[in-house]
Structure 1
Amino acid sequence: METYTAMRHFADSWGLLAMAAFFVGAVIFTLRPGSGRTAKDAASIPLKDD
């Protein structure tokens, strides 16, 4: 039972912080300057052979 309590405390504190940091990083990565062109290029890949 002690292992469960320790893992829960870890997930409640550092796990939440890590998930929040990942989310903020993903949003910043998506909204960075120049990402629109990259997204358009990636979206057109399936249509390049047509």
Structure 2
Amino acid sequence: MEFYTFLRHLADSWGLLFMTLFFVGSCLWVLRPSSKALHAEAANSIFRDDSAPAEAKPSAGKEA
């Protein structure tokens, strides 16, 4: 058996299994219940320094 053929069979079987398990494990790690607070903090971090809502600017086509 050639070395390339061996590596090809290894990647087709064990490589695919490893990548699938890594993907499923990563998804489960991100979606675990204990990380909900971290995700909520990251989602709201862009609003952390806002003290008041931004004022509405009139559009260019309409004059008041």
Which range, TM-score by smaller chain? 0.7 to 0.9
What residue in structure 1 maps to residue 33 of structure 2?
A: 33
The offset of 1:38, in angstroms, is 1.5
Structure 1 position 16 matched with structure 2 position 20:
no
Structure 2, unaligned stretches of length 5 or more? 50-64
Higher helix share: 1
Pair member with larger Rg: 2
Amino acid at match of 2:14: W
The runs of 4+ residues in structure 1 deviating greater than 6 Å are 44-49
Is there any run of 5+ residues in structure 1 with no aligned partner, and where? none
How many residues of Structure 1 are paired with residues of Structure 2 in the alignment?
49
Measured in 2, the distance between the counterparts of 1:31 and 1:46 equals 22
% of aligned pairs identical? 51
One-letter code aligned to 2:27: V
32-41 or 12-21, which deviates more: 32-41
What TM-score do the two structures reach when normalised by structure 1?
A: 0.73
For the aligned residues, what is the CA RMSD?
Answer: 1.6
